[in-house]
């Protein structure tokens, strides 16, 4: 599995444009995070890209989210990657995340939503305008992007990264694909 194949799978299984962008966004943050941690950038990026392949089929069945992706990916990626993807739905699948890649995925999945929502309320609606301090402010406003779990963003601490640093990493990751995101 490589990035190109991951994007082909996104195009095959995800029809909704915003959901495709969400997967690209999580892939970009995961890659940036891996680079910061000296981990395997390609592996982390692929995990981010592939984590929500079954979203359309499972949005009303959260107890299946991750399990259908596991079937799609069987024989295509290492079982370790499948387990990590399943672990981002730890609450519904009764899994205790315990790998760095899982912590990164859970945190990046949530942070992507907060940063994109922040970009959208900027006068320019551009990621280039988003700074750490803007995300910090929005993180504190509970009513802003309410379905973004602040608790999940804080999984960055399990990687030894404080939230300000994580915001910086997330902004950098998303800015690197601003064109693809149209932001
Ligand atoms: Fe996601």
pLDDT tens, residue by residue, 72-97: 999 999 999 999 999 999 999 999 99
The pTM for the full model equals 0.96
Q: How far is the CA of 160 from the centre of ligand 1 (A)?
A: 22
Q: How far is the CA of 20 from the centre of ligand 1 (A)?
A: 10
Number of domains in the chain: 1
Q: Which of 57, 62, 99 is nearest to 78 (CA)?
A: 99
* pLDDT value of position 154: 98
Q: How far is the CA of 146 from the centre of ligand 1 (A)?
A: 15
Q: How far is the CA of 66 from the centre of ligand 1 (A)?
A: 10
Q: How far is the CA of 124 from the centre of ligand 1 (A)?
A: 25
* Domain, as residue range, for 78: 3-181
Look up the CATH number of the domain holding residue 110. Answer: 1.10.3210
Around ion ligand 1, residues with a beta carbon closer than 5 Å are 52, 109
Phi (first) and psi of residue 124, to 5 degrees: -85, -10
Radius of gyration of the chain (CA): 15
- In this prediction, residue 70 has a pLDDT band, given cuts at 50, 70 and 90, of very high
Burial of residue 108 (CB within 10 Å: 0-12, 13-18, 19+) is buried
pLDDT tens, residue by residue, 108-147: 999 999 999 999 999 999 999 999 999 999 999 999 999 9
């Amino acid at each position: 599995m490589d990035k190109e194949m991951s994007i082909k799978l996104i195009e095959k299984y995800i029809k909704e444009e915003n959901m495709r962008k969400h997967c690209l966004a999580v892939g970009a943050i995961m890659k940036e995070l891996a680079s910061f941690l000296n981990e395997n950038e390609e592996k982390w990026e692929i995990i981010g890209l592939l984590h929500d392949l079954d979203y359309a089929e499972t949005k009303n069945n959260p107890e299946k989210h991750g399990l259908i992706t596991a079937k799609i990916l069987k024989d295509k990626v290492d079982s370790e990657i499948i387990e990590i993807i399943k672990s981002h739905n730890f609450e519904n699948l009764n899994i205790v995340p315990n790998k760095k890649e899982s912590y990164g995925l859970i945190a990046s999945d949530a942070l992507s939503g907060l940063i994109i929502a922040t970009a959208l309320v900027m006068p320019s609606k551009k990621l280039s305008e988003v700074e750490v301090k803007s995300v910090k402010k929005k993180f504190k406003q509970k009513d802003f992007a309410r379905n973004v779990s602040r608790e999940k963003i804080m999984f960055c601490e399990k990687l030894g990264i404080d939230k300000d640093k994580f915001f910086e990493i997330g902004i950098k990751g998303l800015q690197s694909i601003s064109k693809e995101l149209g932001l």
